[in-house]
Chains A and B, each alone.
Chain A
Amino acid sequence: MTPFTKYEVQIYTRGAWKIESIYDDREIAIFEAKKIQRGGHYLAVRVIEERASPLRGEADVKIVFRATKANEGGDRGPYAHKAARQEAQLALRAMRADGGDSEMYSDYGEVAVESCAGAVLMVLGLGGILLIGIAAIFAIRHYFGAL
């Protein structure tokens, strides 16, 4: 017997969405999706609700859960490298293009801004340390030169 409403857990892998498993229970589907997300093997995971409409002969489809792992670990995380970041952004774009209701949505774009700000602060900090060092060298040379 096929239920009227099905929930497809989909993973974003190798540049495309792939069906991972199908359930007749929303809670189990979202639970499994979160488990997959925690596993960290995939850039994104979502749950599609497919509600059959026998009168119209087609199904109503909407996203009931979605998440990316792109922000995990920040600058030192698994998505800090350029290629991984690009793929994560592709997954995010694919999610945005699909629309739907979202209960959870990790936006990689915000993380990218944070990463950029962190990098600028680090460069400024290193620059400051360098300037202090140079100033110290000049001060020592000036002091010993004066003696």
Chain B
Amino acid sequence: MVVRLLQYWRGLGSDIRIPSRSGIDPKAIPDMWPNCAILDVDGKETDPEITYIGSELTAHAGADLSGRKLSSVPADTLVSTGFSYFGQVLAKKAPITFGGEFTDSRGVTILYRSIILPLSADGTRIDRLLAAANCREVVSE
């Protein structure tokens, strides 16, 4: 999913122009959109606001996180852990994908992979982030 979303994002911009939020068409990425979130970083560079969150991410969080600040999301969730490096995307002005594992509130180890892609209304200044993550539980033997 991460590589396909990156490919989609690349197709919307160019080497000098960052794609815009309005360019993202959920219908073009129907299988990935439930795993996506849009983070508003315009004037909120240190603590983005979640303006959209997909159904899969909502299910993992156990609550609708729309309108909430990222810092208010519990630390042992996919959204909080998977999108924790948003600051690096703002600093590098480039997509970043990381993976890892964390232990959720039930004590279950979760393997995840996430990606955060910059978005810009004017092609240069980042005002939104397109983030996506998926995960699976690690089954202990």
Interface residues on A, range: 10 to 19
Return the chain A residue nearest B93 by Cβ.
A19
B74, CB-defined interface residue at 8 Å: no
Q: A42 vs B14: C-alpha distance in the bound complex, in angstroms?
A: 11
A114, CB-defined interface residue at 8 Å: no
CB contacts (< 8 Å) of B23 on chain A: these are: none
CB contacts (< 8 Å) of A21 on chain B: these are: 6, 94-97
- Mask, A1-33, CB within 8 Å of B = 1, is 111000010010110001111111100100010
B8, CB-defined interface residue at 8 Å: no
- Please determine whether B99 and A24 come into contact, CB atoms closer than 8 angstroms: yes
- Please determine whether A1 and B15 come into contact, CB atoms closer than 8 angstroms: no
Tally chain B residues at the interface, Cβ within 8 Å: 18
CB contacts (< 8 Å) of B52 on chain A: these are: none
- Please determine whether A22 and B100 come into contact, CB atoms closer than 8 angstroms: no
CB contacts (< 8 Å) of B96 on chain A: these are: 21-23
- Please determine whether B92 and A22 come into contact, CB atoms closer than 8 angstroms: yes
Given contacts A14-B16, A22-B88, contact A3 B95 (CB under 8 A): no
- Please determine whether A25 and B85 come into contact, CB atoms closer than 8 angstroms: no
- Please determine whether A1 and B94 come into contact, CB atoms closer than 8 angstroms: no
- Please determine whether B3 and A1 come into contact, CB atoms closer than 8 angstroms: no
CB contacts (< 8 Å) of B15 on chain A: these are: 11, 13-14, 18, 20, 41-42
- Please determine whether B84 and A1 come into contact, CB atoms closer than 8 angstroms: yes
Least Cβ–Cβ distance between B126 and chain A, in angstroms: 13
- Please determine whether A20 and B94 come into contact, CB atoms closer than 8 angstroms: yes
Return the chain B residue nearest A20 by Cβ.
B94
Residues of B98-115 at the interface with A, using a CB-CB cut-off of 8 Å, are: 98-100, 102
Q: A45 vs B118: C-alpha distance in the bound complex, in angstroms?
A: 21
CB contacts (< 8 Å) of B100 on chain A: these are: 1, 3, 24
Q: A102 vs B80: C-alpha distance in the bound complex, in angstroms?
A: 37
- Please determine whether A22 and B97 come into contact, CB atoms closer than 8 angstroms: yes
| 14 examples of A-B residue contacts, CB within 8 angstroms | A1-B81, A1-B84, A1-B102, A2-B84, A2-B85, A2-B98, A13-B16, A18-B15, A20-B15, A21-B6, A21-B94, A24-B99, A24-B100, A41-B15
B-to-A contact residues, CB < 8 Å: 3, 6, 15-16, 81, 84-85, 88, 92-100, 102
A-B complex: 3 closest residue pairs judged by Cβ atoms: A19-B94, A22-B96, A21-B95
* Inter-chain pairs besides A3-B100, A20-B94, A25-B99, 5 sampled, C-beta below 8 Å: A1-B85, A2-B88, A21-B94, A21-B96, A32-B6
